[in-house]
Structure 1
Amino acid sequence: MKIAIVFYSMYGHVYQMAQAIAEGAKKVEGAEVKLLQVPETLPVEVLEKMGAVEARKSFAHIPTATVEDLEWADAIIFGTPTRFGNMCGQMRQFLDATGQLWASGSLVGKVGSVFTSTATQHGGQESTLLSFHITLLHHGMVVAGLPYAFQGQTRVDEITGCSPYGASTIAAGDGSRQPSQNELDGARFQGEYVAGIARKLTCC
């Protein structure tokens, strides 16, 4: 089965989570995994002022996602940073271009899942994941989160992301905090979990 991991990352935190998601998905036999990033909408001058140009070089080699990539996949795992408790504008613009897929029912029955990143511990991770699910449901997708079978999300001995709605990480206001081992483990679990569901749906 085919797994597309479609993400937007400005400083690399979501990209690191996407890599972990891919690692998890590849554990499932028969999984073909593609890492894709949605098109950038900000001009280079703005990205330079935001200090994002250098950070983005680490994933500049990742191909740009197209609407056709969504049709190709049996499961799509979306990654987005949070903007005011919702998905980023780049991801929203990409999804707003999928009207033709909606009209033709091309994504109906595919597995859809989401992961995210915020600057602060309570920066809207859950609202971003849950509001993203609305778009997936409109497309008729089978929504998968991060079940409590991943024991790491019950931890209280450290500050950590991850919830039943999807894996997540905390970047800090200046972007200095990198995804923790627990957060990356959650992403790997989610990737394997989604790929496993896709396998069950496509094998028979």
Structure 2
Amino acid sequence: MKINILFYSMYGHMFQMAKAAQEGVNEVPGAESRILRIPETLPLEVLEDMGAVEAQKQFADIPEAGMEDLAEADGLIFGIPTRYGRMSAQWANFLDQSGQLWLKGTLIDKPVALMSSSATQHGGQESTLISTGASLMHHGMLVVGLPYSFQGQMGVDEIVGGSPYGASTIAGGQGERLPSERDLAGARFQGKRLAEITRKLSSAK
């Protein structure tokens, strides 16, 4: 049972969430997981101006994802940072390349879990997760959320990401806030849940 975890990250937040999700996946017997990164589309000078070049070195050795990584997987996890209430342009560019998969119906009934991040608490995480889920339904994919059985999203005692639509984290305006342990726990929970549901669907075929 193959679970591929695809992420885009500017400062490393979604990379940390992807690694946590992989930990959850690996708790499920029979699950094989890989982390892959979405190709960068911004020019180097823009990344330098945004102070992202050094941060991106932490995952520079992670292989880039391609359409074959969507097709081969039994289940998928997408780490999608928010840009103005929607998916980042890098993710949009990547998914725009999936037309042949759509024509063939390759992704129909394939489970997928979504995670996100934003600079602020109300910076569009939920709209990004909802709109991305709607897009993936055009592929016939089965979106696996983060139910309230993950109690970590219920608290109000600290800044915390997470919603029924997926795990998430708040990065800060300059990317200065790293994912909290509660945010990472949500990613682990969702990763494990995605793998468990994938296993059930695979055994039912």
- What TM-score do the two structures reach when normalised by structure 1? 0.99
> Which residue is equivalent to 1:71?
71
> Which residue is equivalent to 1:43?
43
Equivalent pairs counted in the alignment come to 204
**1:3 is paired with a residue of what secondary structure?**
strand
- The answer to whether structure 1 residue 176 and structure 2 residue 176 are counterparts is yes
For each residue in 1:168-190, what CA deviation from the matched residue of structure 2 results, as whole angstroms up to 9, or x when unmatched? 00011111111001000000000
- The answer to whether structure 1 residue 161 and structure 2 residue 124 are counterparts is no
> Which residue is equivalent to 1:10?
10
> Which residue is equivalent to 2:19?
19
Code of the residue aligned with 1:169 in structure 2: it is T
> Which residue is equivalent to 2:122?
122
Residue 14 of structure 1: CA displacement? 0.6
Residue 43 of structure 1: CA displacement? 1.4
Question: How far, CA to CA, are the matches of 2:2 and 2:149 in structure 1?
Answer: 24
**1:177 is paired with a residue of what secondary structure?**
coil
**1:45 is paired with a residue of what secondary structure?**
helix
Code of the residue aligned with 2:198 in structure 1: it is A
Question: How far, CA to CA, are the matches of 1:136 and 1:27 in structure 2?
Answer: 26
Code of the residue aligned with 2:73 in structure 1: it is A
Question: How far, CA to CA, are the matches of 1:69 and 1:81 in structure 2?
Answer: 20
Unmatched runs of 5 consecutive residues or more in structure 1: none
> Which residue is equivalent to 1:203?
203
Residue 61 of structure 1: CA displacement? 0.9
**1:179 is paired with a residue of what secondary structure?**
coil
Question: How far, CA to CA, are the matches of 2:40 and 2:180 in structure 1?
Answer: 26
Matches for 1:141-156 after TM superposition, within 5 Å: 141-156=141-156
**1:42 is paired with a residue of what secondary structure?**
coil
- The answer to whether structure 1 residue 104 and structure 2 residue 68 are counterparts is no
Question: How far, CA to CA, are the matches of 2:11 and 2:56 in structure 1?
Answer: 6
Residue 5 of structure 1: CA displacement? 0.6
- Whether contact under 8 Å (2:113, 2:191) holds in the other structure is no
Task: Tell me how large the CA RMSD over aligned residues is.
Answer: 0.6
Question: How far, CA to CA, are the matches of 1:152 and 1:7 in structure 2?
Answer: 22
Code of the residue aligned with 1:186 in structure 2: it is G
Question: How far, CA to CA, are the matches of 2:156 and 2:198 in structure 1?
Answer: 32
Residue 52 of structure 1: CA displacement? 0.3
Residue 104 of structure 1: CA displacement? 0.1
**1:4 is paired with a residue of what secondary structure?**
strand
**1:6 is paired with a residue of what secondary structure?**
strand
Deviates more, 1:42-51 or 1:165-174: 42-51
Residue 113 of structure 1: CA displacement? 1.5
- Aligned-pair identity (%): 61
Residue 75 of structure 1: CA displacement? 0.8
Unmatched runs of 5 consecutive residues or more in structure 2: none
For each residue in 1:36-89, what CA deviation from the matched residue of structure 2 results, as whole angstroms up to 9, or x when unmatched? 011111111111111100000001111000000100101111111100000000
Question: How far, CA to CA, are the matches of 2:37 and 2:92 in structure 1?
Answer: 13
